[in-house]
Structure 1
Amino acid sequence: MDKKYWVPALEKADGVLRLISEEPYKHRLIDLVNQLGIHKSSMYSLLHTLEALKWIDRDANDTYAIGSATGRWGDSYSQGQDIIASFHREASITRDRLQETIQLAKLEGNEVLYLAKEEAPTMVRLASGPGMKFPAHVTALGKVLLSFVDESELDLLYPSQQLISLTEYSLKTKVDLVKQLRIIRDEGIAFDRQEVIVGFSCVSAPILSQSGEAIAAVSCSMPQYIWERKKDVAKTEISQLAGRLSQF
């Protein structure tokens, strides 16, 4: 791994967290100093900061264990893994019904990150796949997730009025994006009509948490010559898939 931009303090914190997670409420400050080779004053500052952030917890005997903040990280990680497993199970049903590719993604800033895909049994293969990112405003997945973002936050995500265009059909300005997001917010469904790749269209619906937040989204993409014939049934199937995934 390239350590050009390595942060030594984080490496030290990682060592502390690893050790006390393996042996909770066993080690005091001096024990951690001796085992990790970190200077006592540096260790004191590190433990004080980690405790304040609730990354670790200290008991009456001044020994340490993992704190409540790391538990929330674990819950978030588990939720992410659970939704991917649930997606593959449920989306395979939708894929077989539509005979088209189904995708799962989440929002990262003003981009959409693809998490998983159920590929259709066709000769046509989409370029997008897990780990890839696209500008959120040109994708159905991204737009349906952006519709849950406050307009004040949109100003931070899109400080310029001009938007990046991938095709002639892509949205060109933030004004156009805001108008479309209002419609998407009301309808609960978003479309990409040749905005990423000319010749392909897409429909997407959000996956909601119990509190009503959009945690991810699913979509169905298909060649334009099939779109006019299948768009209505695709809209229904994707909405139903998102609803099933929202229950997990």
Structure 2
Amino acid sequence: MSPKYWVPALERANIIIDVIAENPSKLRLIDISNKLDINKSSMYSLLNTLETLGWVKKDRHETYTLGPVLGSFASAYYRQFDILETFSVEAAKAIEVVDEHIQLGKRYDAEVFYLAREEGSSPARLVTDPGMRFPAHASAIGKIQLIKLSYEELLELFPEKDLPQKTENTVGHVDELWEQLQQAKKDGYVVEEQEGAVGFCCVSAPIYNKDDQLTAGVSFTMLENNWTDKRELAAREIMKLAEQLSTNQTL
């Protein structure tokens, strides 16, 4: 965006909210000030305004959490996705076949925002929950939503070319990611083996709207010891689920 139309105060507020979201009830004014290198006077004004608006809340220990207004925004955000109800119904059918956790997510730039999850019987605790963001390149559900990008568009997302590592298995360079995406185009799905979290493997397929625009992704996630036996079955079922959601979705 052109600097002419950029509002620094809004950018600062957004950064502050991000920091508080990542560290709820852990940071005081001075902590946030030091962390973001914003002087105490300016930070006081920003936090006071955000608190007055209900975007953040200060507790009795003088630390901050997200406020109720952001909670209402989140509820409104989710309500606009009619796909959520369909996902809940159709994912349950796929889980009957594969019996592993299924997640629904939508990409925003270089990250995936998780919208919903339906769980199989596995006791495994996933590293992502609805409402969380995660690097797109380190997750199957993120990678599958990159397949429509040109190489130049991929470089715009990852200009450094070297990709941040979540585990030692995470794809490390944009050229390697590009090759994975070309294969995913041919297959109709993409796999990720312990790139987002050690011990977990995923397979994801794309969701399209009526205009054939890729709008979201859906994925199976399972423990590594189940992966060998279930990989092919999960790939087939996740593509079926994605096709069903594409038929019914209004993202």
SS in 2 for 1:221: strand
Compare CA radii of gyration and give the structure with the larger one: 1
Counterpart CA distance in 2 for 1:183 and 1:176 is 11
Question: Counterpart of 1:223 in structure 2: which amino acid?
Answer: L
Question: Counterpart of 1:159 in structure 2: which amino acid?
Answer: P
Mapping of 1:12-91 within 5 angstroms?
A: 80-91=80-91
Counterpart in the other structure of 1:209: 209
Stretches of structure 1 that go unaligned for 5 or more consecutive residues are 8-76
2:226 counterpart of 1:226 = yes
Stretches of structure 2 that go unaligned for 5 or more consecutive residues are 1-7, 12-76
Counterpart CA distance in 1 for 2:84 and 2:97 is 20
Question: Counterpart of 1:81 in structure 2: which amino acid?
Answer: F
Counterpart in the other structure of 1:113: 113
The 8 Å contact of residues 92 and 118 in structure 1, kept in 2 or not, is answered as yes
- Moved beyond 2 Å, runs of 4+: 4-7, 77-80
Question: TM-score normalised to the size of structure 2?
Answer: 0.66
The 8 Å contact of residues 148 and 213 in structure 1, kept in 2 or not, is answered as no
Q: Per-residue deviation at 1:127?
A: 2.1
Q: Per-residue deviation at 1:95?
A: 1.5
Identity %: 38
Counterpart CA distance in 1 for 2:175 and 2:215 is 25
Q: Per-residue deviation at 1:153?
A: 1.5
The 8 Å contact of residues 78 and 115 in structure 2, kept in 1 or not, is answered as no
Q: Per-residue deviation at 1:168?
A: 1.0
Q: Deviations over 1:27-80 (max 9, x none)?
A: xxxxxxxxxxxxxxxxxxxxxxxxxxxxxxxxxxxxxxxxxxxxxxxxxx7995
Counterpart CA distance in 2 for 1:102 and 1:181 is 21
The 8 Å contact of residues 127 and 197 in structure 2, kept in 1 or not, is answered as no
Counterpart CA distance in 2 for 1:6 and 1:168 is 36
Counterpart in the other structure of 2:30: none
How many pairs are equivalent?
176
Counterpart CA distance in 2 for 1:107 and 1:81 is 14
Q: Deviations over 1:145-165 (max 9, x none)?
A: 001122221111111121001
Q: Per-residue deviation at 1:179?
A: 1.2
Question: Counterpart of 1:168 in structure 2: which amino acid?
Answer: E
Mapping of 1:65-214 within 5 angstroms?
A: 80-214=80-214
Question: TM-score normalised to the size of structure 1?
Answer: 0.67
CA-based RMSD: 1.9
Q: Per-residue deviation at 1:175?
A: 0.9
Q: Deviations over 1:157-185 (max 9, x none)?
A: 11112100111111111111111111111
Between 1 and 2, higher relative CO (CA 8 Å, sep ≥ 6) is seen in 2
Question: Counterpart of 1:112 in structure 2: which amino acid?
Answer: V
Q: Per-residue deviation at 1:133?
A: 1.0
Counterpart CA distance in 2 for 1:238 and 1:182 is 19
